[in-house]
């Protein structure tokens, strides 16, 4: 009989860190704290249908979108889980307009954490998967306190990134630049167990994910590319199938496992002022780091996402992400627009 080894996320993180002589364990502690926050959020998301917590608070976030109670809960939960450990020096969240400093009573760490606490939350009432996305950098400034400068970075400077998808099961997927690993939460023991080691995204897929309701706002290159995917050509696997949940983590996670391309191009209603929707620091960069580590590509259409120097906390970018060959083909269409 084959013997199976159960590897918890804690064990995995510790073993990976041991490979780096001189590692202080700080980073292990950080990911540990994050996985605890994820378990607590998962518990709340799973009982959302039962709890009074459902429904709008009546508030709006910095982007003018309605905020659900669970967004606020997840935001607070992550801040509380991360502020006291001594690993983090500053945080920024999609839900907060400004950076989140570490309170004076706690030690300042050397890492910067940026996160989207509950992405896709407009889907919660319909029991659709939602997710948490996180991105970690080393501190850059040297003053007494970390500043917004520590957050305005290029994605290529990330030291780790990941997401938690609260779906038919809860999964945490992360990279520290040495492959992408996925862990499934076993609710009976409250542990994330290694279920997907060294995830590789197929070099091309048969799935495309885009909000087709926006067709009239796309640039010509995107319109032509999507029309191309619908043509029949068995030698290139076309037509592709459309799968769009409207919950980035869930759409991305499916495409990461099965192969395919996710697109959120800019809105070209005013061709002089294209308007992207997704956020560079909280959504695009962390998923870009993951997809590259899995063998895929993340592009704005005209360049690598992780090469963009952030100039503001809530900066938005077009995001075309997924299987390598699919994204390269898109870039060709986009450049000919």
Burial class of residue 126 (count of CB atoms within 10 Å of its CB; 0-12, 13-18, 19+): exposed
DSSP line for 169-206: SEEEEEESSS-EEEEEEETTTTEEEEEE-S----SS-S
Task: State phi, psi for 286 to the nearest 5 degrees.
Answer: -60, -40
Handedness of CA 225, 226, 227, 231 (dihedral sign): positive
> How many chain residues touch ligand AFP (CB under 6 A)?
10
Near ligand AFP by CB under 6 A, which window of 80-88, 182-190, 219-227, 245-253?
A: 245-253
- Where b means 16+ CB within 10 Å and e means fewer, 238-258 reads eebeebbbebbbbbbbbbbbe
- Residue 264 is given by DSSP the state E
Near ligand AFP by CB under 6 A, which window of 143-151, 174-182, 200-208, 241-249?
A: 241-249
Tell me the angle at which helices 9-18 and 26-46 cross, rounded to the nearest 10 degrees: 160
- Strand, helix or coil for residue 111: strand
Near ligand AFP by CB under 6 A, which window of 116-124, 221-229, 288-296, 326-334?
A: 116-124
Nearest approach in angstroms of CB 196 to ligand AFP is 21
Query: Which of 211, 236, 315, 329 is close enough to bind ligand AFP by CB under 6 A?
Result: 211
Near ligand AFP by CB under 6 A, which window of 4-12, 79-87, 101-109, 242-250?
A: 242-250
Q: What sections of the chain are H helices per DSSP?
A: 9-18, 26-46, 69-83, 220-230, 248-258, 285-293, 324-335
Taking the least distance from each CB to ligand AFP, the nearer of 71 and 191 is 71
Taking the least distance from each CB to ligand AFP, the nearer of 89 and 226 is 226
* Contact of 135 with 115, CB cutoff 8 Å: yes
Near ligand AFP by CB under 6 A, which window of 50-58, 117-125, 162-170, 265-273?
A: 117-125
Site for ligand AFP in 76-115 (CB under 6 A): none
Instruction: Decide if residue 119 touches ligand AFP (CB under 6 A).
Output: yes
Instruction: Decide if residue 267 touches ligand AFP (CB under 6 A).
Output: no
Taking the least distance from each CB to ligand AFP, the nearer of 13 and 245 is 245
Query: Which of 46, 108, 122, 236 is close enough to bind ligand AFP by CB under 6 A?
Result: 122
Q: Could you give the CA distance from residue 333 to residue 278 in angstroms, rounded to a whole number?
A: 21
Taking the least distance from each CB to ligand AFP, the nearer of 33 and 119 is 119
Instruction: Decide if residue 248 touches ligand AFP (CB under 6 A).
Output: yes
Q: Could you give the CA distance from residue 260 to residue 152 in angstroms, rounded to a whole number?
A: 30
Q: Could you give the CA distance from residue 52 to residue 318 in angstroms, rounded to a whole number?
A: 36
Site for ligand AFP in 50-69 (CB under 6 A): 65
Strand partners, 208: 242, 261
Near ligand AFP by CB under 6 A, which window of 25-33, 152-160, 243-251, 288-296?
A: 243-251
Task: Give the binding site for ligand AFP (CB under 6 A).
Answer: 65, 119-123, 211, 246-248
């Amino acid at each position: 009989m084959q013997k199976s080894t159960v590897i918890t996320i804690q064990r995995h993180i510790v073993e990976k860190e041991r490979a780096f002589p001189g590692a202080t364990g700080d980073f292990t502690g950080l990911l540990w704290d994050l996985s605890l926050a994820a378990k607590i959020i998962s518990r709340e998301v799973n009982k959302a249908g039962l709890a009074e917590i459902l429904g709008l608070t009546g508030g709006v976030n910095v982007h003018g979108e309605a905020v659900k109670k669970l967004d606020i809960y997840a935001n607070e939960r992550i801040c509380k889980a991360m502020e006291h450990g001594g690993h983090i020096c500053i945080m920024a969240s999609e839900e907060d307009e400004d950076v989140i400093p570490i309170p004076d009573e706690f030690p300042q760490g050397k890492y910067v954490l940026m996160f989207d606490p509950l992405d896709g939350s407009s889907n919660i009432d319909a029991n659709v998967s939602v997710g948490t996305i996180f991105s970690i950098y080393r501190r850059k400034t040297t003053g007494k306190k970390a500043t917004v400068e520590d957050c305005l970075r290029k994605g290529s400077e990330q030291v780790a990134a990941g997401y938690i998808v609260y779906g038919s099961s809860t999964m945490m997927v992360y990279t520290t630049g040495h492959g992408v690993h996925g862990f499934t939460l076993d609710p009976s023991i409250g542990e994330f167990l290694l279920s997907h080691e060294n995830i590789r995204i197929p070099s091309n897929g048969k799935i495309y994910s885009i909000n087709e309701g926006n067709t009239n706002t796309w640039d010509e290159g995107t319109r032509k590319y999507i029309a191309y995917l619908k043509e029949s050509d068995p030698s290139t696997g076309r037509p592709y199938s459309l799968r769009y949940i409207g919950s980035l983590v869930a759409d991305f996670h499916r495409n990461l496992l099965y192969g395919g391309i996710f697109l959120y191009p800019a809105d070209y209603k005013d061709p002089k002022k294209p308007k992207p929707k997704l956020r560079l620091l909280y959504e695009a960069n962390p998923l870009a780091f993951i997809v590259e580590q899995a063998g895929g590509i993340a592009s704005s259409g005209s360049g690598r996402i992780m090469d963009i120097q952030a100039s503001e906390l809530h900066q938005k970018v077009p995001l075309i992400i997924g299987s390598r060959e699919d994204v390269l083909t898109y870039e060709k269409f986009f450049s000919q627009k």
